[in-house]
Structure 1
Amino acid sequence: MHVLFLDESGTPPRPQDQRPSYFVVGGIIIPETSWHRMRDGLMGIKIRRGIRGEIKWRYFAPANNDAKNPMRGLAQDVRDEIRTEIYRLMSSETAVKTLACVSCREAAYAMPSINTQDDLYHGTFKPVTERFEYHLSDLSKVTGRREFGIVVGDHRGPGDDKRLRGYHEKLLHSASGFTTNYKHLIEGLFIHPSNLSVGIQLADMVAGAVWRKYERGDDKYYQLLKPSLRTNAQGDEAGYGIIKFPKATFI
């Protein structure tokens, strides 16, 4: 069994917003045989660093001393060391893979099908679930047995969760030629609070590194993430671990 944990880079921009220019849904695929090591690894980092609470990308920002930030009061160099440890943890297991879809706000809202924040979120969400299906299909060919997976997303709000669950269910049962045949997924979309999920906290770090590369032109943490990204046989993450939406008009 393989679990795709998902999180996003903040709130999807509205059509009239000028910033952010990009929105990201990031994910981490953790097989059942690796989950305990990922959990123990993250807990070990927290214990060594005296962190009691949830890990979020935004908590590593300079001078972020939110009341809920378990790293409040820590110097920036220490926060950066912790962030580096987390990316090294994600690349420590070859069976663990990361992936993300990055959407261009301007290009996406120029599409007839993208009119609302939900449309943008769903359009960014879909390619990640499709690559998860492809990943499971590829693994099945290697192992000689069908590999199955489930998708776990972060809780955002009752309305948002309900709409995303409905959209995911439509994807699973769609007969459209533009939608993947999801042969390897079990059940629908599971929603879980990020503060109670190791996987979702790691997925947030994926989304954050990819967002920063595209929005700010800073690939420092993307380079640390890169060893864990899903790639083709030649080691290229484009279209495999990093998907651009919309592909044809991405700016």
Structure 2
Amino acid sequence: MYLLYADESGSSGGSDQEHFVLAGVTVFEREAHWLSLKLDKIAAQFDSQAPHSVELHGSPMLTGKKFWRNVPKNKRIDAIKDALRLIDGQHQRIIASVVRKAAISPEDPVSVTFQQLITRFDHYLARQYKYYGDPQRGLVIFDKSPKEAPIQALATEFKFDGHEWGTLRNMADVPVFVDSRATRLIQLADLVAYAIFRKYEENDSQFYEIIERKFDFFNGVQHGLHVDV
């Protein structure tokens, strides 16, 4: 099974931020444990006695909030970059959707980005079978969020009633929502979403340039990034 660990960045409502991002990293089930251990090593730099108490989240790390307040900025930035470098563009792929809310109004940013995310993941799985004979199902794993109910409703609708481009064919079940404190890979998805958000919202590409070649691609065509800005 392929797992897509996903998270959002930016506000889906309000006018204080122009953009909203939903992004995820595909991980084959047997790779998840080993990738998590590598992220643990990054966290252990900041608390070797209790590394699991250190959460890797983009915004507080960059701005120095809460736990990160007393950590030098250069070390915080290096940790974000080190985590993003762990994503292997061959074995893990990034799938993401970024929208400028005014550009898609009155449509809901969550609905638009989720449809892009899950259908691109579904197409990725179909391609794995068609070209590589790998008949894996997929499961999307999100950070816990008030958006859980509407996202699960959308996933069910896309599977049984269809979406704009067809129906979902390769999902094992509706998305699962977990506490980010329990899994490093949700934290990694947060860092990916934040890297994309910083590029489009703040014109800051220092993190994005690390991941820009790690989006899902096939035959030289990038399939893993939807941009509507």
TM surpasses 0.5: yes
Match of 2:161 among 171, 174, 181: 174
| CA deviation after TM superposition for structure 1 residue 151, in Å | 0.9
Match of 1:164 among 123, 133, 151: 151
Distance 1:156 1:34 in 2: 25
Alpha-carbon spacing, 1:145–1:100, altered in 2? closer, same or farther (3 Å): closer
Preserved CA contact (<8 Å) 2:10 2:197: no
Alignment of 1:147 with 2:145, yes or no, is no
| CA deviation after TM superposition for structure 1 residue 25, in Å | 0.3
Distance 1:55 1:175 in 2: 36
Distance 2:65 2:203 in 1: 25
What is the SS of the residue equivalent to 1:186? coil
Q: Tell me how many residue pairs correspond in the alignment.
A: 225
What is the SS of the residue equivalent to 1:90? coil
Moved over 2 A (4+): 48-53
Preserved CA contact (<8 Å) 2:12 2:110: yes
Provide TM-score, normalisation by structure 2: 0.91
| CA deviation after TM superposition for structure 1 residue 209, in Å | 0.6
Query: Which residue in 2 is equivalent to 1:231?
Result: 217
Among all aligned residue pairs of Structure 1 and Structure 2, give the percentage whose two residues are the same amino acid.
Answer: 21
Query: Which residue in 1 is equivalent to 2:11?
Result: 11
RMSD over equivalenced CA pairs, Å: 1.7
Query: Which residue in 2 is equivalent to 1:124?
Result: 113
Pairs within 5 Å for 1:1-251:
1-14=1-14, 17=15, 19-50=16-47, 51=51, 52-62=53-63, 64-66=64-66, 69=67, 71-91=68-88, 94-109=90-105, 111=106, 114=107, 119-157=108-146, 160-175=147-162, 178-234=164-220, 236-237=221-222, 240-245=223-228, 250=229
| CA deviation after TM superposition for structure 1 residue 181, in Å | 2.2
What is the SS of the residue equivalent to 2:172? strand
Provide TM-score, normalisation by structure 1: 0.84
Preserved CA contact (<8 Å) 1:100 1:242: yes
What is the SS of the residue equivalent to 1:7? strand
What is the SS of the residue equivalent to 1:209? helix
Preserved CA contact (<8 Å) 2:4 2:27: yes
| CA deviation after TM superposition for structure 1 residue 174, in Å | 1.8
| CA deviation after TM superposition for structure 1 residue 72, in Å | 2.8
Distance 2:218 2:184 in 1: 27
What is the SS of the residue equivalent to 1:156? coil
Preserved CA contact (<8 Å) 1:99 1:229: yes
Gaps of 5+ in 1: none
Distance 2:65 2:18 in 1: 26
